[in-house]
Amino acid sequence: ETETKWSSRWDYLLDSMPNSNIQWFSILNSLVIVLFLSGMVAIILLRTLHKDIARYNQ
């Protein structure tokens, strides 16, 4: 058996990670980029569909 308590078994690994805030910033940055690019694709698709529907109705 070890002297490490069950509740604190991850403390050593979590404390040794340098700057975990940078990881959260990277995740947030990636999410913003994905949302921005998805919005751009949606705008392009909506414009194209709008033009096609207008052409079809004529």
Q: What is the pLDDT of residue 40?
A: 99
- pLDDT tens, position by position, 14-54: 777 776 666 888 899 999 999 999 999 999 999 999 999 99
What is the predicted pLDDT for the residue at 28? 94
pLDDT beyond 80 at 1? no
Instruction: Name which residue leads in pLDDT, 26 or 2.
Output: 26
pLDDT of res. 19: 64
Tokens of 34: 């994905």
Q: Give the DSSP per-residue string, 1-58.
A: --SS-GGGTTHHHHHHSS-HHHHHHHHHHHHHHHHHHHHHHHHHHHHHHHHHHHHHH-
26 backbone dihedrals φ, ψ, rounded to 5°? -65, -40
Distance CA 37, CA 42 (A): 9
